[in-house]
Amino acid sequence: MEEKDLFEMVKKGYSQKADGYSRALGQHLKEVYCPNDIKGLVYEKDLGNPGEYPFSRGIHSNMYRGRLWTMREFVGYGTPQDTRERILKLASSGATAITIAPDLVTSAGIDPDHPLAAGEIGTDGVPLSSLRDMETLLEGIPIERVNVNLVLTSCVAPIVLAQYIALAEERHADVTKLRGTVSNCPIKDYFCSHKAGAPDLKFCLKTAGDVIEYCTKNMPLFNPFNSNVASFRNMGISPAMEIAIGLAIAFAHIEEARERGLKLEELARRFAFFMATEMEFFEEIAKHRSARRMWATLLKEKIGINDERSLQLKIGDVIAGHILFSQEPMNNIARLTAATLAAALGGAQSIQVPGYDEGICLPTEEAHRLSLRIQQILAFETGIANVADPLGGSYYVEYLTSRIEEQAMEILAELEEKGGITSDGGSRWLANELEESLLKLYGGIDSGDVAKVGVNVFAAPIEKETTVEVQRIPPDVSEKQLKVLKELKRDRDNEKVRTALKEIYEAAVNREGENLMPYILQAVRAYATTGEIFGTMLDSYDIRTIH
Amino acid sequence: MKACRLMMSNRKIRILLSKIGLDAHDIGVRLVAAALRNRGMEVVYLGLYQTPANIVSSAIEEDVDVIGLSITGGAHLVHVAEVIKTLRNRHCDIPVIVGGVIPQQDVVTLKELGVSEVFPSRPLSVIAEYIEQLAKR
């Protein structure tokens, strides 16, 4: 650009202005919000103090004065040893919980020696092919004292959870005291393309139900599932749609649990939303408040749950991957900071901050630490955690909270009219909506309608793009894991494995509705592999997939 | 030598798009498919969990001008090498382009393997124009 053009740009830039459009709401905003905009709001009924029904202002009276949000980092790469080392490094930097990312091989329910596993072992997470890998991964990590989140495709969830339980048993840890979460959301898997490890919605709802039932009865402090709406959000949907889908997923599971005769209060107490935080700051803060209010009122009025703790919606946030770009990747640090701040001001129970290098590779050690630092700086240096719901009463934030709720109620009603999220009609409708959102968001970024700094506005020429350090997967991961698998199959009692697998098969085939968790746990204890168990489950339900 | 392809004039550009291996992140490739269809190309999208062998077979059967692979799971070097090898074994010179989560450092490596171009987070129009140029050759 010539200098004279450059300063023409500067001159034009001087009068730049905000466009007043909220993409989250799909509407233009007023220039200012005043008492008139929230005149229908009744404090006791619609807000309540933090810790009071309907929990719009937060689920605890003292919020982060009681306990700060949980600072999670999503970890998994290379061998279980590699991942363990990263966990220890993050722990030494002050991470307060662990989130385990299994690799694509484990998520697909196959073993490293499967032909489709070539090149994928440990590349996008950690391999957990048997109890042996779980032992290695968590060696020396006191699981009875650390909150662990296992992120899994729903049908593989029972197997990896069983590995975790079996590890606790080996260590004589009290399983009833384990705290953590197994992300186990079949409806997410169905809509968001995780078909390998979740090939059939009905089958997945059954296995997810088994996990929920098992945990509710045996592991009262462990969260057996969450509404993983973050994956939906990455498809470009609005915050209102995110809440509506989250609620629809919850209702589907509550229905399933009712059929199994579970106590709905116990189930609801362990329920959480896993949401994605985007860039539109005040909308994101408000979204948390709308979600909590809707959860409490709908659970009470629609389902008839009165138990106070069941009505408190726990929200785990991840900063949405789709707000991060590979162009000028350092800019992502600013994006992550703004979104993390929104999540904290929204009153999240846990926040997971991706690496600034998301979109380039798995996080490097530096990127991982930096994500944690963003959370710590906000928590310990800015004072934002001192007072519960600090934006409560803001005309604008209260307006947004009510407006998002209104939109979400409309979407929920529409989805129910179509037959619900698991019905043919409802899922077709939702799939179309998701496809449209996807094209709108990403098409908008592509065309420049959705401004992304350094990407489609003020962008540097491609040849000047920044190159950052890249996390590499050690080249011998496959070889090492194949060796572990081979030795495992040589050393274990194969007769015991065969018997245990046969029992899974027979329970599934001969006793309809039987909970498979105890049988899976038995097989895991005998060191049956993830692929062997998943294969048996698929066989017994006669499901054909990529396997 | 366009050994595998029928030479026809004035036909639409045909491109085969596919995911490969276990990576199920398909948002990007679906967007590319939609954009290319909007530009009047014929897009054959194979979907998830494809192997090098069936990608190459489909490309030959469908007589496509270009193969586009989308990889976000970190296994791009392994998978792309296998696709190129399979193409060569079948004496086929259909050009291959790659998109997805690809570090800058790997762009050169992929090109050395025989990939025509790599598009990590590029505007759809840039990808489409490149394909149009590539198909003319």
Over the stretch A101-135, which tens digit does the pLDDT of each residue have?
999 999 999 999 999 999 999 999 999 999 999 99
Nearest chain B CA: its distance from A113 CA (Å)? 14
Within 8 A of B121 by CB-CB distance, chain A residues are: 325-327, 359, 455
Nearest chain B CA: its distance from A383 CA (Å)? 37
What is the Cα–Cα distance from A252 to A255, expressed in whole angstroms? Answer: 5
> pTM of this prediction?
0.94
pLDDT band at A489 (very low <50, low <70, confident <90, very high): very high
Q: Cβ contact (<8 Å) for A467 and B104? A: yes
B118 beta partners: B98
Q: What is the mean pLDDT of chain A?
A: 94
Nearest chain B CA: its distance from A513 CA (Å)? 30
Minimal Cα distance from A472: which residue of B?
A: B74
Say which of B35, B49, B121 has its CB closest to residue A196: B49
B73 close contact with A: CB closer than 8 A: yes
Bridge pairing between strands A27-28 and A21-22: antiparallel
Would you say residue A492 has pLDDT above 80?
yes
B78 close contact with A: CB closer than 8 A: yes
**Cα A46 to the center of its chain, rounded Å:** 28
Q: Which of A505, A534, A498, A535 is nearest to A519 (CA)?
A: A505
Tokens 């048997």 correspond to: A130
Long-range CB contact pairs, A321-325, < 8 A, 24+: A321/A234, A321/A276, A321/A354, A321/A358, A321/A359, A322/A234, A322/A236, A322/A278, A322/A441, A322/A442, A323/A278, A323/A279, A324/A354, A324/A356, A324/A358, A324/A359, A325/A359, A325/A452, A325/A454, A325/A455, A325/B121
In chain A, % of residues over pLDDT 70: 99
**Token duo for residue A41:** 């709001």
* A-B contacts (CB, under 8 Å): 91
Give the mean model confidence (pLDDT) for residues A2-26. Answer: 90
Q: Cβ contact (<8 Å) for A360 and B101? A: yes
Within 8 A of A123 by CB-CB distance, chain B residues are: 73-75
pLDDT in tens, A282-325: 999 999 999 999 999 999 999 999 999 999 999 999 999 999 99
Q: Cβ contact (<8 Å) for B75 and A119? A: yes
What backbone phi and psi angles, to 5 degrees, belong to B7?
Answer: -90, 120
pLDDT band at B1 (very low <50, low <70, confident <90, very high): very low
Angle formed by the axes of helices A281-298 and A239-259, to 10°?
30
How many Cα atoms sit within 13 Å of B103 on the Cβ side?
20
For residue B135, what are the contacts with CB-CB under 8 A and spacing of at least 6? B13, B65, B66
What is the Cα–Cα distance from A289 to A56, expressed in whole angstroms? Answer: 5
**Cα A484 to the center of its chain, rounded Å:** 30
Radius of gyration of chain B (CA): 14
Q: Quote the pLDDT of residue A547.
A: 63
Q: Quote the pLDDT of residue A349.
A: 97
Q: How many CB atoms lie within 10 A of CB A174?
A: 8
What backbone phi and psi angles, to 5 degrees, belong to A15?
Answer: -105, 20
pLDDT band at A459 (very low <50, low <70, confident <90, very high): confident
DSSP letter, residue A453: B
Within 8 A of A442 by CB-CB distance, chain B residues are: 27, 31
For residue B29, what are the contacts with CB-CB under 8 A and spacing of at least 6? B17, B18, B19, B45, B68, B70, B99
pLDDT band at B59 (very low <50, low <70, confident <90, very high): very high
Q: Report CA dihedral (B50, B53, B56, B59) to the nearest 10 degrees.
A: -50
Q: Quote the pLDDT of residue A108.
A: 93
Q: Quote the pLDDT of residue A195.
A: 75
Give the mean model confidence (pLDDT) for residues A361-383. Answer: 96
Interface list for B 6-35 with A (CB within 8 A): 21-27, 30-31, 34-35
Q: Cβ contact (<8 Å) for B101 and A438? A: no
Interface list for B 31-60 with A (CB within 8 A): 31, 34-35, 48-49, 51
In chain A, % of residues over pLDDT 90: 86
Minimal Cα distance from B25: which residue of A?
A: A193
ipTM score for this prediction = 0.88
Tokens 């899922």 correspond to: A427
Would you say residue B105 has pLDDT above 70?
yes
Q: Quote the pLDDT of residue B3.
A: 46
Q: Quote the pLDDT of residue A9.
A: 84
Would you say residue A153 has pLDDT above 80?
yes
Q: Cβ contact (<8 Å) for A104 and B34? A: no
Nearest chain A CA: its distance from B114 CA (Å)? 19
Give the mean model confidence (pLDDT) for residues A483-497. Answer: 98
Q: Which ranges constitute the DSSP H helices of B39-123? A: 52-61, 76-89, 104-113
What element of type H or E holds A75?
Answer: strand A70-75
Q: Quote the pLDDT of residue A371.
A: 97
Q: Quote the pLDDT of residue A13.
A: 87
What is the Cα–Cα distance from A336 to B107, expressed in whole angstroms? Answer: 27
Within 8 A of B22 by CB-CB distance, chain A residues are: 104-105, 107-108, 116-117, 120, 196
Find out whether A157 and A211 touch, Cβ atoms under 8 Å: yes
